[in-house]
Structure 1
């Protein structure tokens, strides 16, 4: 039922939502993308959070949609401060923010630690900040390292944003390539890719063809 409603909503999207963009051209309203498609369609049957692997049945206050390539990083790449300035810098700005390939469910409390930090490899001696909920998510002041089973998803989302929108790879490219190998594409990621294609009309090529990472130039 939720999927049927969302498909109908996709057909009824106002013309402005289909303005020409970069990687995808259908979604240009981040709030709409999250409220009408991310939770009701991509995760219609529930799922688990990316960073901590915590199960959920539906959208709720404990969980949020987390952008792997964050809004702050996109603004930095475009060298703009406000949404209006960024939209003037790039007509693809709102499409970047709305792109479902870049969004994953996360615990809200974990997202607060994640959003202003970059991904990186930390020393084994750095403790998990969320050991109280059995979540392997180590942090320092400006760097976070998630569990191994999330690293490939993160790397492929970042490579996708780089390939589709020309955004710089934030962090160490070689590290992301290693994460990509450490945590290979799985069936859940392939199924998610299929669902998102049905909504916004494009796919993450690094999920379909993992060997594409070899074409990235350092």
Structure 2
């Protein structure tokens, strides 16, 4: 009799736990950047294992397949930068500087201080809707530069990758396939955390949002993030339902 009681009790507990895992009304589970980086493998697998700026494929060990996108590290005497091209990094489309420079923690010690001590910044820094795999060298070159569009015929910097960076003017022009993605991520960060867009950026991103509509892959990415983090990017999700 006791054995039967414990079996029934165990089944009830399991059923409650299983229900909690799929409860659509549950609060979002946000992570800090370090923990989000570990969870992102649950989002970027299979067809989504592709870099933002160059469309390169990579494997489960984060080894980049240069031949999949005709990528080539740019001519650079800095071996450290060239080595960085061989690895995948999680790129903040809305930069950490843009997220945190208005916070008091940033003024007192920059990103490192905010990551360690400011709860608001920790949540922003780890939000998966703003994180995308990128080749480390391109991520490093983009730095904290804002997005821009200044030429329809970019001179390639990384083999046949269409993303370019203007170091003198401190701006980055993403390839066409990335433009709608970064626009909708920027709208999300403004709506969710109040990271303001300049009038110039807003006009650019509104144009990109229309010119480069949501794709099936972007919808799948949003669905996977929802399963891990518990919330959607409404600027993507609402268009996926249409």
8 A Cα contact 2:154 2:162, kept in partner: no
1:63 is aligned to 88
Distance 1:194 1:140, change over 3 A: same
CA distance in 2, matches of 1:122, 1:154: 17
CA deviations on 1:67-110 (whole Å, 9 max, x unpaired) are 10111211223352335764799642111001000000101111
What TM-score, normalized to structure 1?
0.76
Q: Secondary structure at the match of 1:129?
A: coil
Q: Is the 8 A contact 1:148 1:182 kept in 2?
A: no
The 1-side partners of 2:113 and 2:58 are apart by 37
| Contact 1:128 1:139 survives alignment (8 Å) | no
Cα shift at 1:195:
0.8
Q: Structure 1 regions of 5+ residues with no counterpart?
A: 1-10, 12-23, 211-218
What does residue 166 of structure 2 align with? Answer: 140
**Alignment partners' CA distance in 2, 1:159 and 1:89:** 26
Gaps of 5+ in 2: 1-16, 18-26, 63-85
Structure 2 Cα separation of the partners of residues 51 and 146 of structure 1: 6
- Distance (whole Å) between structure 2 residues aligned to residue 187 and residue 125 of structure 1: 27
Taking the aligned partners of 1:145 and 1:84, their CA distance within structure 2 comes to 27
- 1:121 is aligned to 149
Query: Pairwise CA RMSD of aligned residues?
Result: 2.5
Superposition pairs of residues 66-105 of structure 1, within 5 angstroms: 66-78=91-103, 80-81=106-107, 82=109, 83=111, 86=114, 91-105=119-133
Q: Identify the residue that residue 192 of structure 1 maps to in structure 2.
A: 221
1:194 is displaced (CA, Å) by: 0.7
The verdict on how the C-alpha distance between 1:125 and 1:199 changes in structure 2, with shifts beyond 3 A counting, is closer
Asked whether the 8 Å contact 1:25–1:95 carries over to 2, the reply is no
**27, 33, 36: which one pairs with 1:33?**
36
Larger radius of gyration: 2
* Structure 1 stretch displaced more, 45-54 or 75-84: 75-84
- Cα distance in 2 between the residues matched to 1:84 and 1:106: 21
Secondary structure of 1:135's aligned partner: coil
Deviation beyond 3 Å, 4+ runs, structure 1: 83-91
Q: Hey, what's the Cα distance between the residues in 2 that align with 1:149 and 1:87?
A: 31
| 1:155 CA displacement | 0.2
CA distance in 2, matches of 1:195, 1:126: 33
| Partner Cα separation in structure 2 for residue 85 and residue 110 of structure 1 | 25
Distance 1:88 1:25 in 2: 21
